[in-house]
Structure 1
Amino acid sequence: MEESPFKGKTGPKRVINAFFYSVDGLKAALQHEDAFRQEMLLALVLIPLALYLEPSAIGRVLMIAAVLLVLIVELLNSAVEAAVDRISFEHHHLIKRAKDMGSAAVLVSLLNVVVTWGLILLG
């Protein structure tokens, strides 16, 4: 199997390139993914709110981490969807399963926000 020509690169140039690839990924998600934009807006509201509401440092960390996890899972879900769509637009039960599972992962991460915030603020 052929490997990517980018595999095995090391050193500072690789780290710098990886940073810019990540920035490109965030830009692509903001430009092309409605769900990511909505979740980013949610994060822009909830993260400052967590800093304001919760007096405990650990509570703040947990509340913010739960919100950031949603963004991470959405990025991974969008990556899976883009890769699958690159392969085929054909209706196939495995493609549906992959997309549904990615969507379920986002739902679970959103439920995690609700549970985490609820336990910290009400507990």
Structure 2
Amino acid sequence: MESPFKGKTGLRRVWNAFHYSLDGLRAAYRHEDAFRQEIWLALVLIPLALWLGEGALARALMIGSVLLVLIVELINSAIEATVDRISLENHRLAKRAKDIGSAAVLIALINVGVVWGLVLLG
């Protein structure tokens, strides 16, 4: 059974999806402190990667690691919002879901350190 909320198809769907994505980025920036901090960090690190990275592959790895943090943070924020929408009560499964999302962000941040360290020092 298909969702009754499915919308248009073709180019109209792509256009709508693009605008929904922009809405999501705006909402994350407005409501998620961690995402806002990571955006500002990305605005510093991405130009730095373009300057410090020697060659296209090094730059791509450095920038990709930073973008991965933003992607994981968006997914983590979506998980947290969904859990909170379902219930605000303290529940071990809700805590587990939020903690696992947070752990994913931590691993993405560690990945930035590892990638940048290997590119710049290795």
Assess same fold via TM > 0.5. Answer: yes
1:3 match: 3
Name segments (4+ residues, structure 1) moved above 6 Å.
Answer: none
2:25 match: 26
* RMSD over equivalenced CA pairs, Å: 1.2
Are 2:73 and 1:78 aligned? no
Q: Which runs of 5+ in 2 are unaligned?
A: none
Percent identity, aligned pairs only, is 69
Q: In structure 2, how many angstroms separate the alpha carbons of the residues matched to 1:2 and 1:48?
A: 44
Q: Which runs of 5+ in 1 are unaligned?
A: none
Deviation at 1:3, TM superposition (A): 2.2
Deviation at 1:4, TM superposition (A): 4.0
Count of matched residue pairs: 122
Q: In structure 2, how many angstroms separate the alpha carbons of the residues matched to 1:98 and 1:4?
A: 28
SS at 1:3 equivalent: coil
SS at 2:46 equivalent: helix
Deviation at 1:2, TM superposition (A): 7.0
Amino acid at match of 2:22: V
TM-score normalized with structure 1 length: 0.95
Q: How does 1:1-123 map to 2 (within 5 A)?
A: 3-6=3-6, 9-123=8-122
Check 1:2–1:95 CA distance in 2 against 1; reply closer, same or farther (3 A cut). farther
TM-score normalized with structure 2 length: 0.96
| Deviation per residue, 1:59-116 (Å, 9 max, x gap) | 0000000000000000000000001100000010000000000000000000000000
Q: In structure 1, how many angstroms separate the alpha carbons of the residues matched to 2:24 and 2:13?
A: 16
Check 1:113–1:20 CA distance in 2 against 1; reply closer, same or farther (3 A cut). same
